[in-house]
A and B are shown apart, each in its own frame.
Chain A
Amino acid sequence: MKILVTVKRVPDPYAKVVPNTAGTDIAREGLQWAINPFDEIALEEAIRIKEAGKANEIVAVSIGGDECQEQLRTALAMGADRAVLIQITEWLDPTSIAHVLTRIYQREQPQLILMGKQAIDTDDNQVGQMLAALLDLPQATFASKIHIENGTATVERETDAGIETIRVPLPAIITADLRLNQPRYVALTGIVRARSKPLEVLPLAELGIAPQVRVRLLAVERPPARQAGKRVADVRELVRLLKEEARVI
């Protein structure tokens, strides 16, 4: 079985992200970048499935600029077998990303596509579901447990109502939630080995697709800041203020 894993380059989840001076995007200088944490979890899951003898190849794919090679190298060091970078020069909206990924699907013919549930930069939470629709594949989003057997994935999903279990035949798209696993640290041997693993760079034009971008980011701003309020001395004062000042109890 071949597994395709998507890898997006995003600012480090613990980095402080601020608007640029024009307020048109985030300030990029000095930012640390990382694999989208949900994609790292998706990749970890793919590696575990392979380690369990249920897959024989993991292909990591990223869509972005040349700098994404850094995240793909990390993916190779973690345990992906091959990586593909689809080079783009202009920002693409989620529908376009999904369209580009359909081409990769056709090229690679994986039995399983593992993706993050959401990219923590624009927090869309769309591409997996869109890709599943475009490819007419079943989807299991927000996975916290995956069990694969006889061409079927049994997936526990984190929903607002609790843990829901669904079963989908492969090929299918599964998107990872935080509790699916704890990604491994990249070992030095992995980094060394990753250097000799193939990383293919494909300009978007070579996929014969010209996506139509219909959503654009115009501006970013800080939300109105919340003022720190007052310190209260004890429980009695707290209850009095909640009653008399805030009037919420």
Chain B
Amino acid sequence: MKILVIAETNGQQISEKTLPAIAFAQQVAPEEFHILAIGHGLQGVENLAGYGAQSLWLTDDPILARPLAERYAPVVTHAVQQLSADFVVATTSTFSRDVLARVAGLLDAPMLSDIIAFMPQNGRYLVKRPVYSANLIGTFEAEGTPLVLTVRGPAWGKPNPVDSRSPVQTLTLPTGIPTRSEWVRLQGSAGGRPDLTQARVVVSGGRPLKDPETFEKYIGGLADVLGGAVGATRAAVDAGIAPNELQVGQTGKTVAPELYIAVAISGSVQHLAGMKDSKVIVAINIDPEAPIFQVADYGLVADLYEVVPQLIEELKQARGDA
């Protein structure tokens, strides 16, 4: 079995979101896996070299400076064919959903998204993945290779470092890449905090946080004393209180930090779908009946405006004591 891991990039920079896909490859095909990184003048390629990949392939070209699926998918397809890879794998994200499903179309290959378990069985593959907003886990059987997979980050974790370095090799750009789609701009809020999907601590806020300033003061403030990332519900994003890339849930990001603090979040199934695998969940909600308490390890029934400032203070002191 030969795996080709597609590195998550924005065309300029390798993202650490690639790591769970490498962890998957280490577990499933330790004997031979490759990594492909696509972009132009990519930064951080060397960060992928210490995990035991047979080779680290790089396709660099000005037309790949931005992650357009129409351009990236044929590069991936070309690599799959060159390497005779059995599995094409990336960590679940908007990047991989966009690019890899197009790869599956180009290869006319079966695909399974966001998988949490993988068991080969005489030329067939049993795969588990969340379905119905992660209310249920489905077991699927896939046949034939190449097989395209995206893997759910929290389920696969981080790869083990190895002593050797993977050689970096150039994979030339195939001819005839369509350039009809054109990248215009990206408006992100980024801003200093850790990546939501990678953070050890996530503090999320819901609809009652009123406006962006209030959200930033309470949710951002609490996240900052914990060195954490900030998340939000869809209701908060829809109300313009938080930027859309902070949305956690079925249609947002999946997170599984060590500590998830849900502030004024009711706990809809769609929100739970994105965070219920967190190690420790804290809920702060004024309503003792809020469904979020059914999944919380620690529940505090209180008004956020009263207790979040106290919590920030306590944590500052606790940090001082330590």
Residues of A at the B interface (CB closer than 8 Å) are 11, 13, 16-19, 26, 93-95, 98, 118, 120-134, 136, 138-142, 144, 154, 157-169, 177-179, 214-223, 226, 228-232, 234-236, 238-239, 241-243, 246, 248-249
Contacts and interface: CB of A to CB of B under 8 A. Distances in A.
A161 B139 contact: no
A20 B66 CA distance: 45
A214 B282 contact: no
Given A166-B68, A248-B279, A130 B101 contact: yes
B295 A226 contact: yes
Interface residues of B, number: 88
A127 B113 CA distance: 12
Contacts of B112: 215
Interface of B: 10, 17, 68-70, 73, 93-95, 97-98, 101-106, 108-114, 126, 130-144, 178, 180-190, 197, 201, 226, 234, 237-238, 243-245, 250-251, 253, 258-259, 270, 276, 279-282, 293-302, 307, 310-311, 314-315, 318
Contacts of A125: 97, 101, 113
B98 A215 contact: no
20 contacts: A13-B133, A132-B70, A133-B103, A141-B98, A158-B94, A159-B95, A160-B253, A163-B187, A165-B186, A168-B182, A178-B234, A217-B138, A223-B134, A223-B135, A226-B276, A228-B295, A236-B314, A238-B282, A246-B298, A249-B226
A144 to B, nearest CB: 7
A238 B311 contact: yes
A26 B197 CA distance: 30
Nearest to B318: A239
Interface of A (DSSP majority class): mixed
A48 B98 CA distance: 25
Contacts of B140: 215-218
Contact of A242 (B108, B185, B245, B282): B282
A98 B258 CA distance: 39
